[in-house]
Each structure stands twice: as structure tokens, then as C-alpha cells.
């Protein structure tokens, strides 16, 4: 398989309950991480991989995401008229970055169901899947390696990272069989296993390169943990029929899925920012 991957799917249909009440009227994916909303990181990462179409899976109350990536003629005109051409260009860029379409997950039935919602748009071709809570500063580099693995093995590929045993029950986890350096065949996939029963400490992070046969697997996957259709369970079913691979990526990954980790990601990225970092470092030193 050497076909270029043209489509990316971003799941953004959850209620964002960990951030209530802030997410009562604002999607979690629109919460800022520095000066960009969370979802923009995934969109830009997808663009860095050369995709033509980004499919965002949304739900009721998520209209602000559509508005964010649309033209804002009045705002652009206002900024131009007030000598803020650089800001105007940045706002204009948001609507011209890539083609984006939206599909709705009409019921909260789990991540696997959200992915299945995009089936008719994705069609019979491989695609990249993003979970926008996971921020990969060098994500396009990681995904390009995963795409290469997908093409060489003609199989789905998951991003994995070794995590401490005390947090392994927060993730989907694989039982690995080493194939190459940092590349494994996932012999078993378990969603949020008990710590003592986890098949390894290689946890699945929020980046996937999936072949279209994942849809058929998800269509016959029964609700699992939390009475939801879990993507991990669908991948486990797929792994019984054909090989599924995992890439142990290098580099940083930040979790913005809880208030605590969102704050940590904000601080970590701000400290690395050449404009914000020096003054923030001084401020933190003054209060610690």
C-alpha cells in the first residue's frame, strides 16, 4: 500500500465533564492552550502530514468549532482597518488551512462509535485518527513514521508510550511482540486494565493510522467498559483477523484531558515559548 493518506478524523463529540462548568456552553476542544484552542493543534498536525480533508466528529453544542475555522469577514476587516494586518492574516489563515467537514455523533456511545460515525466520509481508504486531548509538539514527525509503517505492513498502527504502572489503568494497553526497533505487533489490546493484569506498560496514546477495515470491526463490537463501544475493543477484534502494529514514539506528549494535566501542558508549552518562557520562569520562581 503506497497510497497517500488524504483524510484525518478528529473526535470532538464528548461532553467535557472534567472541565464543568466551563464546558457547559463551550466545547472542551475550544479551551485555549496558550493562544490556540486545543483542536487547532490536531488540525495543524494533520496538515503537517499532508492530508486534504479533516473530518471533525462533533455533537450538540459544538457549533463554535465550525465558526472558528470559518471566515470572519467583519473581524478581518476591523483588524485591517486598525493597522493590525498580522493579526488579520492569522485570523484569515484559519479558514484557509485545509478543507474541514463535520459529522455529528448523535448519541454518546463511546470513542469507537464516534470513529464509526465518520465511516461514510472516510470511505474505503486509510486515515489518521486524532484524539485532541493529546498534544504532540512533534506530532507530524511521529505520524509520518506511523504512516510509513502502515504502508510497509499494510496494517493499522497505534502510537504507544511506556507509562508507570500506577497509571496504566487509565489507558488502552497492548501486549507487544517486537518486530523492529520501536515497532511492535499488538498481540492483545485491553482498555483500562487493572494494574496487576495489564499485559505491558505500553499505553496507547491519541494518534492512530487506521486501515478502513476498522469500521467493519467496530460495527460488530459490543459495548465494553463504561457500556460504551471502545475503539480499543474494536482494534482487539481487528487484531484477531490481521496484524495491528504499534509504534513507540519518541518525544513529548502532553495530556490536556483533565484540569490538572491541562494546566501542566499549558505551563510546559509556555516555558518553551521564546517570548513567554523567560518571564514566566521568573514569575514561577518568585511564587514557589
Is 82 a residue whose pLDDT tops 80? Answer: yes
The pTM score is: 0.92
The pLDDT of residue 60: 84
Q: What is the pLDDT of residue 73?
A: 86
Bridge partner residues of 190 (DSSP): 173
Question: What pLDDT digit, counting tens, does each position of 271-286 carry?
Answer: 999 999 999 999 999 9
Cell readout for 65 is: 468549532
Q: Which of 97, 63, 111 lies closest to 230 in space, CA to CA?
A: 111
Q: 41: which 3 cell numbers? A: 493543534
Query: What's the confidence (pLDDT) of residue 47?
Result: 93
The whole-angstrom separation of Cα 24 and Cα 39 is 17
Continuous H helices in 19-110? 38-48, 63-68, 73-81, 85-96
Cβ burial of 93 (10 Å; 0-12, 13-18, 19+) is exposed
Write out the three cell numbers for 270.
509556555
Q: How far apart are the C-alpha atoms of 206 and 162, rounded to whole Å?
A: 14
- Spell 128-167 as b/e; 16+ CB within 10 A means b: bbbbbbbbbbebbbbbebbbebbbebebbbbbbbebeeee
10 Å Cβ neighbour count for 75?
Answer: 13
- Torsional sign, CA 149, 154, 159, 162: negative
> For the chain, how far is it from start to end, CA to CA, in angstroms?
54
**What is the spatial distance between Cα 244 and Cα 187, in angstroms, rounded to a whole number?**
8
Q: What is the pLDDT of residues 196-240, one digit of tens each?
A: 889 999 999 999 999 999 999 999 998 878 788 999 999 999 999
Residue 14, pLDDT above cutoff 90: no
Domains, the chain, with CATH or none:
7-257 (3.90.550.10)
Please indicate whether residue 223 or residue 5 has the higher confidence score (pLDDT): 5
Query: What are the residues facing 260 on neighbouring strands?
Result: none
Amino acid at each position: 500500500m503506497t497510497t497517500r493518506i488524504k483524510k484525518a478524523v478528529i473526535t470532538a463529540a464528548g461532553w467535557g465533564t472534567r472541565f464543568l462548568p466551563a464546558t457547559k456552553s463551550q466545547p472542551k476542544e475550544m479551551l485555549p492552550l496558550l493562544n490556540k484552542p486545543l483542536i487547532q493543534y490536531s488540525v495543524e498536525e494533520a496538515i503537517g502530514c499532508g492530508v486534504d480533508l479533516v473530518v471533525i466528529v462533533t455533537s450538540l453544542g459544538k457549533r463554535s468549532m465550525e465558526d472558528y475555522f470559518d471566515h470572519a469577514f467583519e473581524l478581518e476587516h476591523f483588524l485591517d482597518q486598525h493597522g493590525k494586518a498580522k493579526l488579520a492574516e492569522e485570523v484569515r489563515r484559519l479558514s484557509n488551512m485545509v478543507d474541514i467537514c463535520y459529522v455529528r455523533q448523535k448519541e454518546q456511545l463511546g470513542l469507537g462509535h464516534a470513529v464509526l460515525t465518520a465511516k461514510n466520509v472516510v470511505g474505503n481508504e486509510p486515515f489518521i485518527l486524532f484524539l485532541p486531548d493529546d498534544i504532540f509538539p512533534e506530532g507530524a514527525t511521529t505520524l509520518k513514521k506511523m504512516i510509513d509503517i502502515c504502508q510497509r505492513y499494510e496494517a493499522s498502527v497505534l502510537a504507544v508510550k511506556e507509562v508507570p504502572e500506577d497509571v496504566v489503568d487509565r489507558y488502552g494497553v497492548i501486549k507487544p511482540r517486537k518486530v523492529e526497533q520501536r515497532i511492535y505487533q499488538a498481540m492483545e489490546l485491553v482498555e483500562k486494565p487493572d494494574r496487576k493484569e495489564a499485559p505491558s506498560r505500553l499505553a496507547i496514546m491519541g494518534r492512530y493510522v487506521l486501515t478502513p477495515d476498522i469500521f467493519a470491526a467496530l460495527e460488530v463490537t459490543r459495548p465494553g467498559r463504561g457500556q460504551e463501544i471502545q475503539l480499543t475493543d474494536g482494534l482487539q477484534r481487528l487484531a484477531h483477523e490481521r496484524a495491528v502494529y504499534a509504534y513507540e514514539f519518541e518525544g513529548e506528549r502532553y495530556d490536556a484531558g483533565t484540569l490538572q494535566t491541562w494546566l501542566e501542558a499549558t505551563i510546559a508549552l509556555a516555558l518553551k515559548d521564546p517570548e513567554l518562557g523567560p518571564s514566566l520562569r521568573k514569575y514561577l520562581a518568585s511564587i514557589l
